[in-house]
C-alpha cells in the first residue's frame, strides 16, 4: 500500500501546494527574452568589467587584444591621472549633500501635499514636471547659463561664519544652496512615493494617538516616521542612483571620455567604473544601514480550489490533534 504523505503543519501543506502550482516551463517561456538579455548584456558585462580592469585592452585588426597588467590601471586611476580622484571626491560630496536634502525636502512636501488642499493636483503636477523634462543636456544648459541660481548666498553672514570654521563644508553647502532648484528637481518621484507611503498609514493610529494626548510633532516622530522607513529606504536608493546619472556627476564624463576612444583606454575605463561602482554600493549599504530592514513576509498564491483544499486539510489536522488529545 502506498503510504500517504502526512502533513504536519500549515507550512508543509503550503509547500506541497506551491510545488503543484509551479509552472516552470510557461514562466520561463515568458521571461526568456529578458533572461537572455540579462545574462548577456548585464550579468556578463558586470563581471567582465572587473576582469578587464586588470588588463590593457587594445583594438587590433584581429579583434580585442588584452594583456595582463596587474593593478596598473588602478595605479593610473589613483596616482597618475590627476582628474580622477578630484572627480570622485566631487561625486561623493554631491551625494552626501544632495541625497539628504532631497529626502528631507520630498518628505516635507509629501506631508504638505497629503491633506485636503485646493489645487493639490496642480502642485503635484508642478513638482512632477522635472521628471519628464529633465535630461542630461537640458540640465547641462541650465547649470551652464546659471538659470538654476536663485540668488547669491556667498555674502550671507551665516555662510561666512561657516566658511571661517571649515572651508570645505562651506563650499559644499554653498553649492547645495545655490543649486537648491536642482535639489527640488530631483524630488519629483520621491514625493509621489512618499505620498503613496503616507496614504497607506491607517488613520486610526493618528486618532488613537490624539486621544492619548499626543501632539502633532510627537505623532510625526513616533508614528509617521517609523512607518515610512521602508519607503524612505527605497527613495534613498533611488535618489543615490538617479543623481549618478546626471551631469552633476563628474565621474561619468571622465569615464565617457576614456570610453569614447575605442583604440585603447577601455582597461583604464573599467578600473574607473569599478571604483565608482564600489562607491555607489557603499552609499546603498549606508542607506540600508540607516533605514534598517523590515520583517520578512511569506506570501503564497493559491487558486480558489487549492484554497478550499487548504482549509479542508487544516481541518483534518485540527481533528487529528483533537483525537490525539482525547486519547
Partner 1 sequence: MHKLKKLFTKIAELYQTIYNRRNRYKKLIGQIVIYVLLITISYVFLFPLFSMVSLAFMSPEDIINPEIDWLPQSFYLGNFTASIKVLNAGKALFNSIWFSGLLAIAQTIVSALTGYAFARYEFRFKKILFALILVSFIVPVPVILIPRIMMIASAQDMIGTPLIGTVYPQIVMAIFGQGVNSAILILIFFNFFKMIPTVLFEAAKIDGASALDQFWHITIKMSLSTIVVVLLFSFVWNWNETYVTGLLLRNNTILLPTQLGIFDSIFTTRPPEIPGQGGEARLSEAYKMAATLLTMVPLFIIYFAAQKQFVEGIEKTGITGE
Closer residue to partner 1 (CB): 150 or 169:
150
| Closest alpha carbon to 148 in 104, 105, 186, 122 | 186
Contact 57, 66 (CB under 8 A): yes
Compute the least distance from the CB of residue 55 to partner 1, in Å.
12
Closer residue to partner 1 (CB): 81 or 148:
148
Closer residue to partner 1 (CB): 206 or 317:
206
Compute the least distance from the CB of residue 84 to partner 1, in Å.
13
**DSSP 8-state assignment for residue 149:** -
| Closest alpha carbon to 66 in 258, 266, 261 | 266
Closer residue to partner 1 (CB): 54 or 276:
276
Helix (H, G, I), strand (E, B) or coil at 301: coil
Q: What are phi and psi of 3, to 5 degrees?
A: -75, 125
Compute the least distance from the CB of residue 80 to partner 1, in Å.
20
Compute the least distance from the CB of residue 94 to partner 1, in Å.
14
Helix (H, G, I), strand (E, B) or coil at 36: helix
Compute the least distance from the CB of residue 29 to partner 1, in Å.
7
Contact 303, 21 (CB under 8 A): yes
* C-alpha to C-alpha distance for 97 and 274, rounded to whole angstroms: 23
Closer residue to partner 1 (CB): 172 or 197:
197
How does 140-151 read in b/e, with b if 16+ C-beta sit within 10 Å? eebbeeeebbee
* C-alpha to C-alpha distance for 11 and 271, rounded to whole angstroms: 48
Closer residue to partner 1 (CB): 122 or 320:
122
Compute the least distance from the CB of residue 105 to partner 1, in Å.
8
How does 89-114 read in b/e, with b if 16+ C-beta sit within 10 Å? ebbebbbebbbebbbebbbebbeebb
Which three cell numbers, joined as nine digits, stand for 318?
485540527
Compute the least distance from the CB of residue 157 to partner 1, in Å.
22
Compute the least distance from the CB of residue 99 to partner 1, in Å.
14
Closer residue to partner 1 (CB): 49 or 163:
49
Closer residue to partner 1 (CB): 119 or 165:
119
Q: Which residue has the cell 529626502?
A: 103
Amino acid at each position: 500500500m502506498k503510504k500517504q504523505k502526512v502533513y504536519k503543519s500549515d507550512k508543509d501543506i503550503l509547500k506541497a501546494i506551491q510545488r503543484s502550482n509551479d509552472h516552470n516551463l510557461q514562466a520561463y517561456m515568458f521571461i526568456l527574452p529578458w533572461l537572455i538579455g540579462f545574462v548577456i548584456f548585464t550579468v556578463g558585462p558586470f563581471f567582465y568589467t572587473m576582469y578587464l580592469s586588470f588588463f590593457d585592452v587594445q583594438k587590433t585588426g584581429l579583434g580585442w587584444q588584452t594583456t595582463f597588467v596587474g593593478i596598473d590601471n588602478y595605479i593610473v586611476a589613483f596616482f597618475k591621472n590627476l582628474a580622477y580622484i578630484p572627480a570622485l571626491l566631487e561625486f561623493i560630496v554631491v551625494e552626501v549633500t544632495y541625497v539628504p536634502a532631497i529626502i528631507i525636502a520630498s518628505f516635507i512636501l509629501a506631508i504638505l501635499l497629503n491633506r485636503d488642499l485646493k489645487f493639490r493636483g496642480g502642485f503635484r503636477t508642478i513638482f512632477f514636471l522635472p521628471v519628464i523634462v529633465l535630461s542630461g543636456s537640458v540640465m547641462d544648459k541650465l547649470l551652464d547659463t546659471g538659470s538654476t541660481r536663485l540668488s547669491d548666498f556667498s555674502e550671507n553672514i551665516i555662510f561666512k561664519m561657516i566658511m571661517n570654521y571649515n572651508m570645505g563644508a562651506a563650499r559644499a553647502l554653498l553649492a547645495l544652496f545655490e543649486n537648491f532648484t536642482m535639489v527640488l528637481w530631483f524630488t519629483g518621484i520621491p514625493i509621489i512615493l512618499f505620498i503613496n507611503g503616507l496614504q497607506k498609514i491607517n488613520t486610526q493610529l493618528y486618532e488613537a494617538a490624539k486621544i492619548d494626548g499626543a501632539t502633532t510633532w510627537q505623532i510625526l516622530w513616533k508614528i509617521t516616521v517609523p512607518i515610512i522607513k521602508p519607503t524612505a529606504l527605497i527613495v534613498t536608493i533611488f535618489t543615490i542612483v538617479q543623481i549618478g546619472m546626471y551631469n552633476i556627476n563628474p565621474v561619468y564624463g571622465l569615464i565617457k571620455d576614456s570610453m569614447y576612444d575605442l583604440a585603447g583606454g577601455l582597461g583604464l575605463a573599467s578600473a574607473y567604473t569599478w571604483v565608482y561602482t564600489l562607491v555607489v554600493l557603499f552609499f546603498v549599504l549606508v542607506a540600508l544601514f540607516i533605514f534598517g530592514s523590515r520583517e520578512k513576509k511569506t506570501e503564497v498564491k493559491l487558486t480558489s480550489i487549492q484554497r478550499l483544499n487548504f482549509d479542508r486539510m487544516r481541518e483534518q489536522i485540527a481533528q487529528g490533534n483533537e483525537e490525539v488529545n482525547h486519547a
